[in-house]
Structure 1
Amino acid sequence: MSEPGSVAGGPVRPVAAGLARYAGLAGAVLLTVAAWLGGALPDAPLRTTLAGLWHASYGPSTLGCWLVGTALLVGAWWSLRWGAPSTRWAYVTAGLWALPLLAAPPMGSRDVYSYVCQGWSWTHGVDPYRVGVAAAGCPWTDTVTPIWRATPAPYGPFFVLLAGLAVLLGGGLVGAIVLLRVIAVAGVLLAALCLPGLARAAGVPTRRAAWLALACPLVGVHLVAGAHNDALGLGLLLFGLLVLVRRPGKPRALVVAGVLLGLAVSVKAVAVVVLPFAALAAVLGRYTLRVLLRDAGWLTAGVLAALLVTSLATGLGLGWVGGLAHSGDSKQWTSPPTAVGFVVDYVGGLFGQEPHAVPVVRLVALALLAVLLVALWWRAWTGLRRLGDVQQRAVRLAAARPRVALLGAGLALAATVLLAPVFHPWYATWPLALLAVATVSLARTVWFVAPCAVASCLTLPDGTNLARFTKAPGALLMTALIVLLLVWAVRVGLARRAR
C-alpha cells in the first residue's frame, strides 16, 4: 500500500496535483457557463438533432464550453486516478469543483422536473404510481422530458414523500428544485462522511477512495448540478454499510443499519441488490448458517420496518414496483443488452427479417444477472467462511472480512447497472463508490474508472444524451467491446485451468 502523499509508490508532484486541481475547477466553471447558456432550463426546448443544438441560441458557445469543460474535468480526475496527495486534499478539491456547479441550473438531464411533478401529484391526492404526471395535471408537465410524461413514478415512497415536501415548502417550481438539490447535496455529504470509515475498514487508502468516489465528474454534474435522487440513495446506502462494518453482530446496530438500507431502497430500487452482501457484513465471528440467519434477521427487520413505515406514511404501498417496468421505455445503446439487441435487428434487416430482438436480449440479460448475483454472493460467502477458519489476529485478515462483503456489493451493483435494460451515466456512481472503497489493487481500479470517465462525456448540458445521435455506430461498438471482453475472459479462464 502506498504511503500518504504518494501515487503508485512514487511521490505526487505538487505542481501536477495543483495543475489537476485548477484545471478541474476551470472545467467546472465552464460547465456552469454552458448550463446557463443552454442547460436543462424550464423553458429550454428538447433538441432532436445535433444541428438543432448548434443553431440554437448560444449553441456554439454552449457546445464549446461543454466540450472544453468536460475535457478539463474528466482529464483532471483521470490524472490522479491512483490517488490524491492526501485525503484532505481530495475532499477540498472535490468541494472546490462542486462550488460552481451548485450555482448552475439543472444540467445533464431533466429528471429533476419529473421529481417535482411526481411530488406535486402526490400532494394533490393523485397516486404517482398509477398515473403519469401529464394525466395528473401537473402545472409543470412541459418541463418534463416527453417520454416520461405518461409513465408512472419508478421511485420509492420515501423519495416521493421528500419530493412532495419540496413542492409544498418550495412554493413553486424553482423553490422545489432548490430544495431537491439541497437533498441531493446532503446525500453527497453523507456519502463523503462514510467513505473514509469504509475504506479504512477494507484496508484501502482513504485518499484514493475519496478521490475516485467524490471528484468523479459524474458526481458534480449529475448528483450535484442534476440533483438526481441517486445522491440520497447512495448516501443512505453507504451510511448503512458503515454501521454494519463498525458494529457487526450488535442487534441494535443491525436494526439501525437495516432501516438506513431500507430507506435507500425506498429511494431507488437498485439498492436492493446490496442487501444480501450487507447480511454478510453484519456477521460477527465465524461464518455459519446459524449466525448468518441470526444477524441477517435483525438487519431484515430494519429493512422491512423502513419499507413498511414509508409505504404506510405516504399511503402509496408497493405500487412503485410496477413503475420499474417502464424504465426500459428508453432504448439506447449505452445499455449493453439493448446494444446487442440493436445489432441483432440490424443483421436481421440485412436478410429481410425483423427479429425485434431488444426485448428478448434484455430478458436474457436479466436472467443472466440473477445467476450472476447468486454466484457473486456465493463466492463472497465461501471466501468469508475460509477466512473464518483462520485466526483473525492480523490486521490484514481483519480488513479482508468487510472488504469481501463490500467488494461483492460493488460488483453486484456493477453487474446490475451493466445488464439493466437502460443505462444512464449517473447510474455508474453506485458501483463506483463501493468499488472505490473495496478495491485494493491499483491496476484493477482502471476497470471501473475508465467507464466512468467515458460515461461523463455522454450527456449535453440540456440533458440530451449523445447516444440518441449515435445509435447504429454506438450499438456496433458496444457489441464489439462485449465480444472482445468475452474472448478475453475465456482465454484467461483457460490459462488459469492450464496452470
Structure 2
Amino acid sequence: MTAPGPPPGPWVARAARYAGLAGAVLLTVAGYLGGALPDTPLGATPASIWRTPDGPATLTCWLVGTALLVGAWWSLRGGTPSTRWAYVTAGLWALPLLVAPPMGSRDVYSYACQGWTYADGVDPYAVGVAAAGCPWVDAVAPIWRDTPAPYGPVFVLLAALAVTLGGGLTGTVVLLRALAVAGLLLAAICLPGLARAAGVPTRRAAWLALAAPLVGVHLVAGAHNDAVMLGLLLGGLLLVIRRPGLPVALLLAGALLGLAVTVKASAVVVVPFAVLAGMPGRYTVRALLRHGCWLAGGLFAALLVTSTVSGLRFGWVGGLTHSGDSEQWTSPPTAVGFVVDYAGALVGRDPRAVPVVRAVALLLLVGVLVVLWWRAWGALRGSNDARRVARVEGARVEGARVEGARPRVVLHGAALALVATVVLSPVFHPWYATWPLALLALTAVRTTWFVLPVAVAAFLALPDGTNLARFTKAPGAVAMTALLLTLTVKVLLRIAHRRGPTSRS
C-alpha cells in the first residue's frame, strides 16, 4: 500500500485553498476580457494580444491566475487534510470557471457545429462544418473548419442533443459544459472506490485528479469531451474491479468502456487491462478468454448499437486520420521530425520527416502497449504461485495481499498505457494530459514525475485558445528532442544497472 504523506498544516491548507480560488477568479476575469468568445478571433501572436485594449489586463490575469492555481495544487500534491477537504476545494475552484466563457481552446464551437451538422441531417464524418453550412462556423478555429469530426457517434449524438435543446450557440455551449461537468462528477464518484482498491490514500488521489489546473480550465471552462470519456472510463474500471468474474458486471463494464471509446477512441488502450481486472481467482489463458469474451461482448455491443442507432455506422474511424493535421513540437514524435527536417535543411535536403517519425511512433506505441500488458499479465500470473504458497503455509494475510495487488497492477498498467498514448501520439494538446492523470493519481508512488508536466502544460495556452507552441516551434522542438534523448539515456543506464548484478551473479 502507498503510504500517504503527512497531512499539511491548517495554515498551509487554508492558504492553498484560497490562493487557488483567487487564481480561478482571475482566470474567469481573463476569460471575459479576452477568452475564446465566438466573435473574438485567435490572436496572431502574444504581442498582438498585448496590444489590444484589454490585452495587458487579459494576459496579466491569465498568467497570475494560472500561477496561483498551479502553485496551490502543487503545494498539496502529497495529500490534503482529508478526502472531503479535497472534494470541497476542487468544487470551490470550479465554481468561477463554471460561469466563465470558453477559454484555452475553441473546440467547444467545433463540438457545437458537429452536433448542428448531424441534427441538420448531414454526415459529420463526410464533410467539415464549413461545407455543412454551420451558422457558427466563424467561431471554430480555422484549422478544424474543413475536417470531418474525429469523435465517436455517442459524442456526436450528445452534441446534437445539446444543439436541439440549446436553441442557439450560447445554450449549446452551456449544455456541452454541463455534459463535461457530468463526466467529471461520474469520475469523482468512482475515485474513492478505485483508490481503496488500489491501496492509495483517497485524499491524495482525489486532489491530484480533480483539482489539477488542466481539469478546471480545459475540462470545466473549456467543456472538452475528455471529461465525458474519463467518467465512463473510470466507471467501467470500477465496475470490473468491484465485481470480477460476474458476467453481468463484465457486460456492463464493457458497455461503459465501449461508450468511452465512442466518445474518444484513445480510451481503447485501457480495455486490455480491464480484461485482466475482470479475472477472479487464478490467471490462466482459459480464464482470460472466458472473462475477456464477456467484457468484449459488452464493448462491441456498445459500439454496434451506437453506430447503428445514430445511422453513422463506423465512418468516425476515418475521421481519426485528421486529428494529426496540427503540427506542434509539444508532440514528441512531431518535435523529432522537426529537428530532422532542420538538420536536413542545413545540408540542403528536405527530408519531410514529420509523417515518417509519426508513423514510427505509432508502431512503437503498439509495441509499448503489448509490453505493458504482458508485464501486467506476468505479474498477475506470478500471483498464482504466491496464492499456492499462502494456502500451503496457511498465510491468509499474504493471500489477501496478493488479491489486493490485482487492482494496483491493472490500474497502473492502464495508466502507463495512457501515458504512452499521450507521449507517442502525433499531436498533443494540454488537456490530453488529463487522460493518464486520474489513473496515475490512483497508482503512482512518486508524484513529481507526472505532476510537473501537467503543471507546465497549464501554461501552454492563452485564454482565447492561442497555443504558445505555435510561436516557439524551433526552440521547442530542439528542447523536446534533447529531453527525449536525456530520458532515453537515463532509462537505458538504469536498465543496465539493474541487470549488472544479476549477470555477474
TM range (shorter): over 0.9
Question: What is the alpha-carbon distance in structure 2 between the residues aligned to residue 57 and residue 369 of structure 1?
Answer: 46
The answer on 1:281 being equivalent to 2:277 is yes
Task: Trace 1:187-202 onto structure 2 (pairs within 5 A).
Answer: 187-202=183-198
Q: Which of 342, 347, 368 does residue 351 from structure 1 map onto?
A: 347
Q: Can you give the 5+ residue segments of structure 1 that lack an aligned partner in the other structure?
A: none
Per the alignment, residue 493 of structure 2 pairs with 491
1:340 and 1:358 in contact (8 A); partners too? yes
Q: Which of 420, 424, 428 does residue 415 from structure 1 map onto?
A: 420
Letter in 1 for 2:93: W
Question: Kindly tell me: are residues 83 and 479 of structure 1, through their superposed partners in 2, closer, same or farther at Cα, counting changes over 3 Å?
Answer: same
Per the alignment, residue 436 of structure 1 pairs with 441
Using the TM superposition, give the Cα deviation of residue 390 of structure 1 relative to its aligned residue in structure 2, in angstroms. 1.8
Letter in 1 for 2:352: H
Per the alignment, residue 459 of structure 1 pairs with 461
Question: What is the alpha-carbon distance in structure 1 between the residues aligned to residue 378 and residue 500 of structure 2?
Answer: 23
Question: What is the alpha-carbon distance in structure 2 between the residues aligned to residue 61 and residue 92 of structure 1?
Answer: 30
Q: Which of 294, 297, 305 does residue 298 from structure 1 map onto?
A: 294
Q: Tell me, what secondary structure is at the counterpart of 1:329? A: coil
Using the TM superposition, give the Cα deviation of residue 340 of structure 1 relative to its aligned residue in structure 2, in angstroms. 0.6
Q: Deviations over 1:142-182 (max 9, x none)?
A: 00000000000000000000000000000010001000000
Question: What is the alpha-carbon distance in structure 1 between the residues aligned to residue 260 and residue 453 of structure 2?
Answer: 24
2:338 and 2:354 in contact (8 A); partners too? yes
2:154 and 2:259 in contact (8 A); partners too? yes
Task: Trace 1:388-407 onto structure 2 (pairs within 5 A).
Answer: 388-391=384-387, 393-394=396-397, 395-407=400-412
Using the TM superposition, give the Cα deviation of residue 14 of structure 1 relative to its aligned residue in structure 2, in angstroms. 0.7
Letter in 2 for 1:404: V
Letter in 1 for 2:319: G
Per the alignment, residue 54 of structure 2 pairs with 58
Task: Trace 1:213-232 onto structure 2 (pairs within 5 A).
Answer: 213-232=209-228
How many residues matched?
A: 492
Using the TM superposition, give the Cα deviation of residue 216 of structure 1 relative to its aligned residue in structure 2, in angstroms. 0.3
Per the alignment, residue 479 of structure 1 pairs with 481
The answer on 1:447 being equivalent to 2:443 is no
Per the alignment, residue 203 of structure 2 pairs with 207
Using the TM superposition, give the Cα deviation of residue 350 of structure 1 relative to its aligned residue in structure 2, in angstroms. 1.0
1:106 and 1:226 in contact (8 A); partners too? yes
Tell me the TM-score normalized by structure 1: 0.97
Question: What is the alpha-carbon distance in structure 2 between the residues aligned to residue 263 and residue 141 of structure 1?
Answer: 28
Per the alignment, residue 24 of structure 1 pairs with 20
1:129 and 1:154 in contact (8 A); partners too? yes
Q: Tell me, what secondary structure is at the counterpart of 1:108? A: coil
Per the alignment, residue 251 of structure 2 pairs with 255
Using the TM superposition, give the Cα deviation of residue 46 of structure 1 relative to its aligned residue in structure 2, in angstroms. 1.4
Letter in 2 for 1:425: P
Per the alignment, residue 92 of structure 1 pairs with 88
Question: What is the alpha-carbon distance in structure 1 between the residues aligned to residue 255 and residue 53 of structure 2?
Answer: 48
Q: 384-393 or 56-65, which moves further after superposition?
A: 384-393
Q: Tell me, what secondary structure is at the counterpart of 1:389? A: helix
2:8 and 2:76 in contact (8 A); partners too? no
Letter in 1 for 2:106: R
Q: Can you give the 5+ residue segments of structure 2 that lack an aligned partner in the other structure?
A: 391-395
Letter in 1 for 2:185: L
1:286 and 1:389 in contact (8 A); partners too? no
Q: Tell me, what secondary structure is at the counterpart of 1:33? A: helix
Q: Tell me, what secondary structure is at the counterpart of 2:78? A: coil
1:369 and 1:415 in contact (8 A); partners too? yes
Per the alignment, residue 327 of structure 2 pairs with 331
1:192 and 1:214 in contact (8 A); partners too? yes
Q: Tell me, what secondary structure is at the counterpart of 1:154? A: coil
Letter in 2 for 1:311: S
1:132 and 1:153 in contact (8 A); partners too? yes
1:85 and 1:207 in contact (8 A); partners too? yes
Letter in 2 for 1:305: A
